[in-house]
């Protein structure tokens, strides 16, 4: 259960669905309630598929490109720390490349926003993907992987619930409330990224010394 709570908290913090809500509300402002629910459902399904595929296929990509798990964890840790600083400074959307005007003009040429930009890169970005690849390499036992998969599923259910109730959450918290919570989440995300980097560096140094 400790692994489950760690994986759930880490994935949810890095995905940061709360920071996606204002973008989601803005993009679906002209949608009916039924269309908004459908978009929320498709977005959560896309995130679930991306997370699960990354969790299981990522290790094969590492082998193909000859990248060690420690190198991936360091690179992923840097991305996670960068995302955390973006949350602390209130520039998370710009960090994800989510300029409002650019997103709106891009969405006009797409049939659905559930895959891009909502699932990728807003919710399933490089930080969460690298985290999942690292978790797969660290916890190879099937019992542990079941806990991680359950954590992924619960995260996606939370994302679905937040997207469905996004209008109420945004109205209740307001811009200042969302920024305040995002800054707290950003601090946690930075700590996760630093832990990833430090543990990988220590592991690499121990291999060199050994």
Q: Which residues contact 142 (CB under 8 A, 6 or more apart)?
A: none
> Between vectors from CA 37 to CA 94 and to CA 124, what angle results, nearest 5°?
35
State if pTM tops 0.85: no
The percentage of residues in the chain with a pLDDT greater than 90, rounded to a whole number, is 32
Please compute, for residue 10, the number of CA atoms within 13 A of its CA located in the half-sphere on the CB side: 26
Residue 96 pLDDT level (bands cut at 50, 70, 90): low
Q: How confident is the model at residue 90 (pLDDT cuts 50, 70, 90)?
A: low
SS3 111: coil
Angle at 114 between CA 168 and CA 148, to 5 degrees: 85
What CA–CA distance (Å, rounded) separates 67 from 82? 21
User: Which residues, including other chains, have CB under 8 Å from residue 135's CB and lie 6 or more apart?
Assistant: 7, 55, 148
Euclidean distance between CA atoms 84 and 78, whole angstroms: 10
Q: Between 207 and 154, whose confidence is greater?
A: 154
4 vs 171: which has the higher pLDDT: 4
Token pair of 5, please? 């709570």
Q: Which residue has the higher pLDDT, 92 or 62?
A: 62
Number of alpha carbons in the 13 Å side-chain half-sphere of residue 20: 33
Instruction: Determine which of 93-102, 150-159, 191-200 has the lowest per-residue pLDDT on average.
Output: 93-102
- Give pLDDT, residue 42: 95
Nearest alpha carbon to residue 15 among 72, 103, 96: 96
Domain ranges of the chain: 2-209
Q: What local confidence, expressed as pLDDT, does residue 173 receive?
A: 84
pLDDT in tens, 161-195: 999 999 899 888 887 888 888 888 888 888 888 98
> What pLDDT digit, counting tens, does each position of 17-50 carry?
988 888 888 888 888 889 999 999 999 999 999 9
């Amino acid at each position: 259960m400790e692994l489950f709570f760690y994986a759930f908290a880490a994935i949810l913090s890095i995905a940061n669905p709360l920071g996606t809500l204002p973008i989601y509300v803005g993009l679906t402002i002209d949608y009916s309630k039924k269309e908004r629910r459908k978009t929320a459902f498709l977005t959560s399904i896309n995130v679930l598929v991306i997370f699960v595929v990354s969790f299981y296929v990522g290790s094969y990509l590492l082998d193909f490109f000859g990248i060690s798990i420690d190198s991936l964890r360091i690179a992923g840790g840097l991305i996670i720390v960068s995302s955390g600083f973006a949350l602390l400074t209130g520039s998370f959307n710009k960090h994800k490349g989510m300029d409002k005007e650019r997103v709106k003009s891009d969405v006009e040429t797409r049939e659905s926003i559930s895959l891009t930009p909502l699932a990728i890169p807003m919710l399933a970005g490089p930080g969460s993907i690298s985290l999942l690849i690292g978790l797969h390499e660290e916890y190879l036992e099937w019992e542990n992987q079941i806990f991680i998969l359950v954590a992924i599923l619960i995260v996606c259910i939370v994302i679905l619930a937040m997207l469905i109730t996004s209008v109420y959450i945004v109205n209740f918290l307001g811009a200042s409330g969302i920024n305040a919570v995002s800054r707290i989440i950003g601090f946690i995300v930075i700590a996760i990224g630093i832990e990833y980097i430090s543990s990988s560096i220590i592991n690499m140094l121990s291999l060199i010394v050994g």
